[in-house]
Copies of this chain bind each other. A is one copy, B any other.
Amino acid sequence: MKLAIMGYGVVGSGVAQVLDRNRASIEKKAGCPLELQAILDRREFPGDPHEKLVIQDVQRILEDPEIQIVVEAMGGTHPAYDYVKACLERGKSVVTSNKELVAAKGVELLRLAKEKNVNFLFEASVGGGIPIIHPLHQCLGANEILEIVGILNGTTNFILTKMIREQMSFEDALAMAQQLGYAEQDPTADVEGLDACRKICILASLAFGHHVYPDAVPTQGISRITREDVALAERWGGVIKLLGRVKKLENGTLYLVVGPHLVPKSHPLATVDDVFNAILVRGDATGEVVFYGKGAGKLPTASAVISDVIDAAKAEGTIPTLQWQEALPGQVADGRQVPGAFYVRLTGCDGQERACCEAQFEGACFLQRSDSLQGEVAFVAEGLSEEELDHRLATVLAQGGTLASKMYVLDGDF
């Protein structure tokens, strides 16, 4: 079977490399030879072992009937979306690592693949080298999925790890991540949670059967977290992690959120550090299962792409379990109404404001650091909605003081 790669950057060249290295066992698993026929990229790659395969015109892939599987590793939606659509329309299966594309256009591309009886596969779009898409729809098939919670972005997890373990500031940790190549020069998509949001949308769509678009998910990043928050989280017995969460509520709607959370140290996600990712899936039969590994990187991501290439080569027609429907109006609940637990830090709260706060949040767990600043009040309150929390905070802030931080707390009965 012949394949093409669109985009010969980190992931695309990794795919070619892993295919060269483990060809014999990969072809044995695929059940047929896999021949790389073309590589689409604007650039040229003199000296690359595959330099002669590099082409600049996508038509040469589209019009070659021998190319049956196309790996899309360009990133972004333009022109990736047009190219992927054109490949599927011509009856070629597409394997992608592009979470932005899947989160924006997944339902449409899956439907098109089904119409043409081919496959649109995206294991590499979530969790890098961690098998998660395939286990979710295949191995956990006996379960009704109740909840998914994940550390889905390695860059922010690296930054938070440095802030927690080495008391670095956010700015210093980000600069270090950029130096090490873990963060891009424009780190917005990572640090503001957009990347994690796309990934939880993909997982939610697959687990619950209807497309969830990123703009339906309240998303908060980590750029405003300070060393004070890290120290107070420690005081509470936890660490701060950027989580993407989806949970099915009793009324059938979905609670979705992306943002920094206080995670108790006893929770299996609390010890997932550095650039590692981990995804906890709670099923009604299997209970909690966690998948852990490198969430990014050339070879891990390439490995996930190739597992999809093997599936595409073996499949006789569209894989029926990898499908979802159009977004359901009203499927995503108003998360602000859902009871949960929250961490709050206020500054400039003296006598009167502090008393008001303690009255408003009676029963909350108030946190004290050894070197608390004058006027700092911090607490964890449980069993109230964000709307209710904000309402009570407004009462406190009317007296004075400033809201410095507000974060989710990962409650739950793990």
- List of B residues within 8 angstroms of A290 by Cβ: 290-293
A123 within 8 Å of B (CB atoms): yes
Tell whether, in the assembled complex, residue B294 and residue A291 are in contact, meaning their CB atoms are under 8 Å apart. no
Tell whether, in the assembled complex, residue A143 and residue B22 are in contact, meaning their CB atoms are under 8 Å apart. yes
Contact status of A131 and B142, CB under 8 A, knowing A289-B292, A299-B285, A303-B283 = no
Tell whether, in the assembled complex, residue A21 and residue B284 are in contact, meaning their CB atoms are under 8 Å apart. yes
Contact status of A287 and B299, CB under 8 A, knowing A29-B321, A131-B140, A143-B22 = yes
Partner of A294, one of B140, B143, B286: B286
Tell whether, in the assembled complex, residue B131 and residue A289 are in contact, meaning their CB atoms are under 8 Å apart. yes
- List of B residues within 8 angstroms of A141 by Cβ: 25-26, 29, 306-307, 310
Q: Which residue of B lies closest to A320 (CB)?
A: B31
A130 within 8 Å of B (CB atoms): yes
Q: Which residue of B lies closest to A291 (CB)?
A: B291
Contact status of A22 and B139, CB under 8 A, knowing A292-B292, A316-B316 = no
Tell whether, in the assembled complex, residue B268 and residue A292 are in contact, meaning their CB atoms are under 8 Å apart. yes
* A311 to B: closest C-beta gap in Å: 7
A135 within 8 Å of B (CB atoms): yes
A144 within 8 Å of B (CB atoms): yes
Contact status of A289 and B21, CB under 8 A, knowing A307-B138, A310-B142 = no
A304 within 8 Å of B (CB atoms): yes
Partner of A135, one of B19, B131, B309: B131
Please report the total number of A residues contacting B with Cβ < 8 Å: 52
Those of A60-91 within 8 Å (CB) of chain B = none
Q: Which residue of B lies closest to A17 (CB)?
A: B285
Tell whether, in the assembled complex, residue A293 and residue B286 are in contact, meaning their CB atoms are under 8 Å apart. yes
Those of A126-152 within 8 Å (CB) of chain B = 129-131, 134-135, 137-144
Q: Which residue of B lies closest to A314 (CB)?
A: B320
A259 within 8 Å of B (CB atoms): no
- List of B residues within 8 angstroms of A22 by Cβ: 142-144, 284-285
Residue interface bits A155-179, CB-to-B below 8 A is 1, else 0: 0000000000000000000000000
Tell whether, in the assembled complex, residue A293 and residue B289 are in contact, meaning their CB atoms are under 8 Å apart. yes
A387 within 8 Å of B (CB atoms): no
Partner of A286, one of B137, B303, B320: B303
- List of B residues within 8 angstroms of A309 by Cβ: 142
Interface residue ranges, A against B (CB under 8 Å): 18-19, 21-22, 25-26, 29, 31, 123, 129-131, 134-135, 137-144, 268, 271-272, 283-294, 297, 299-300, 302-307, 309-311, 316, 320-321
Given known contacts A142-B304, A290-B290, what 15 new A-B pairs fall within 8 Å (CB)?
Answer: A29-B320, A129-B287, A131-B289, A135-B139, A138-B310, A142-B302, A142-B303, A143-B303, A268-B271, A285-B306, A286-B299, A287-B300, A290-B292, A291-B291, A291-B292
